[in-house]
Amino acid sequence: MPRRWNKMSRMIRGKVEMSMSKLNLFNLYRKDPIDYVGKTMYQQKWTAKSETRAYHGEHLKEKRFKKVLFDPELKTYSQLDASLKGEAVAPTPITLQTYAALEKRLEFAVFRSMFASSVRQARQFILGGFVKVNGVKIRHPSFPLKSGDVFSVDPEKVLFAMGRAKPSFEKSVKIDDKQIRVWNKYLSLMKKDPERVKQMKETRPENLDQLEVFKKQEILNRRKSSSNRNMKAKQNLVSNKSILKDIIQLGKAASGEVSAESFRKYGNFADEKCLKIYNILAQKKHSLLDNTSEEALDKYFAKDVERSEGEVKEFRLIKSILKELEHSEWERIRKTHLGESGENVTPAVLEKTTKTTKFVPQLNKEEILEKGEYSGPNLPWQKSPYGREEPERSFFTPWTPRAFLGSFAVLPSHIEISFDTCHAVYLRDPIARPGHSEVISPFPEHVHERAYMYYIKKGM
Centre a 10 Å sphere on the Cβ of residue 152 and count the other Cβ atoms it contains: 20
The DSSP string of 336-376 is: HHHHHHT----HHHHHHHHHH--PPPPP-HHHHHHHT----
Longest dimension (CA), the chain: 116
Are 355 and 347 a contacting pair, CB within 8 Å?
A: no
> What single-letter DSSP state applies at residue 408?
G
- In this predicted structure, what is the pLDDT of residue 361? 80
Smallest CA-to-CA distance from 414 within 71, 90, 104 is with 104
Residues forming a β-bridge with 76? 432
How confident is the model at residue 460, as a pLDDT? 45
d(CA 315, CA 450): 96
Please give the pLDDT value at position 366.
78
Instruction: Report the C-alpha gap between 23 and 242 in whole angstroms.
Output: 69
Q: For residue 212, give the 3-state DSSP assignment.
A: helix
Res 133: pLDDT: 97
| 45-93: pLDDT as tens digits | 999 999 999 999 999 999 999 989 998 888 887 666 656 565 677 888 9
Alpha carbon distance 160, 238 (integer Å): 62
Can you tell me the distance from the alpha carbon of 318 to that of 336, in angstroms, rounded to the nearest whole number? 27
Domain boundaries, the chain: 7-164+400-457, 238-341
CB-CB contact of 338 with 152 (8 Å): no
Count other C-beta atoms under 10 Å from residue 147's C-beta: 11
Per DSSP bridges, beta strands 415-418 and 149-153 are unpaired
Looking at residue 241, its pLDDT comes to 74
Backbone angles phi and psi of 200, in degrees to 5 = -60, -40
426: β partners: 149, 415
Radius of gyration of the chain (CA): 37
pLDDT, tens digit, for every residue of 317-371? Answer: 777 777 777 777 777 777 776 655 555 555 566 666 666 677 888 777 777 777 7
Domain 7-164+400-457 part of CATH 3.10.290.10: yes
- Taking 70 as the pLDDT cut, the residues of the chain under it are 1-11, 78-87, 202-209, 252, 254-257, 260-265, 267-269, 271, 284, 337-356, 458-460
